[in-house]
Copies of this chain bind each other. A is one copy, B any other.
């Protein structure tokens, strides 16, 4: 119902008598998704949003994940991302669907297939322990067909490590800055590059970091323009958005 052209077609079919008004109403309300009982799998999404398919693993049983993945695979989906899935769940899912599993970001790729390497996205982290979130972002972007450069452990307390990696930063079309603790990486990177920066606060740290709140607030208050923020530890969201930006078509 969210597509002007489809509605117009339907109305034309009603006028021509090819469809009764009652059937048209039914069709207007027909589900553009498959109802598995525990989930409504949305197959129009890749059309409507131009995105790779993704299954949020958190809060789903391995059986539910496998069921959704299988239903997608049957319809031809490839490189289906499964986020927040533990090793144990991955082992179970791998019994019924082909699966590449990455333990650090706890990410699976069901029905892995061909993919492109478009443009250039940099994923940078402040420290070693931000890697799980960064890998979630990097793999998401790669699965969606982007070329990704990883710059890990370039936090601002050792500024020379960041400054000696200016080349990939300067050539990126989008940078994902992943940092916990004081989250200053986003501000510093945002002041250096002239492309959009997607900041991901992580819950890494201790004491008064309050589960990522310190990095989140720091990034929201970043004094560099061109930065925006996704949720704490949301590597997937950052990779997805970076892919959208990297793959923007040029203005005519």
> What is the interface of chain A, defined by CB distance below 8 A to chain B?
1-2, 4, 7-8, 11-12, 14-15, 17, 20-22, 24-25, 28-33, 38-40, 42, 45, 48-51, 54, 56, 58-60, 64, 84, 118-119, 126-129, 131, 152-161, 163-164, 166-167, 170, 173, 180-184, 186-188, 190-192, 194-196, 198, 201, 203-234, 236-238, 240-241, 244-251
Residues of B close to A170: CB separation below 8 A? 4
Residues of B close to A221: CB separation below 8 A? 180-183, 205, 207-209, 214-215, 231
B229 near A229: Cβ-Cβ < 8 Å: yes
B60 near A129: Cβ-Cβ < 8 Å: yes
CA gap between A188 and B186 in the complex, in Å = 12
Residues of B close to A195: CB separation below 8 A? 244
Residues of B close to A1: CB separation below 8 A? 1, 160, 163-164
CA gap between A180 and B224 in the complex, in Å = 13
Q: Which of the residues B8, B128, B201, B250 comes within 8 Å of A59, measured between beta carbons?
A: B128
B223 near A241: Cβ-Cβ < 8 Å: no
CA gap between A173 and B237 in the complex, in Å = 18
Q: Which of the residues B54, B60, B84, B245 comes within 8 Å of A196, measured between beta carbons?
A: B245
A246 to chain B, nearest CB (A): 8
Q: Most chain-B Cβ atoms within 10 A of its Cβ — which of A182, A196, A209, A234?
A: A182
Pull 6 A–B residue pairs with CB atoms less than 8 Å apart, ordered by A. Answer: A4-B25, A14-B15, A49-B225, A59-B129, A181-B222, A210-B217
Known A21-B11, A223-B126; contact A241-B217, beta-carbon cutoff 8 A: no
A153 near B39: Cβ-Cβ < 8 Å: yes
Residues of B close to A213: CB separation below 8 A? 208, 217
A126 to chain B, nearest CB (A): 7
CA gap between A8 and B225 in the complex, in Å = 28
Residues of B close to A233: CB separation below 8 A? 206-207
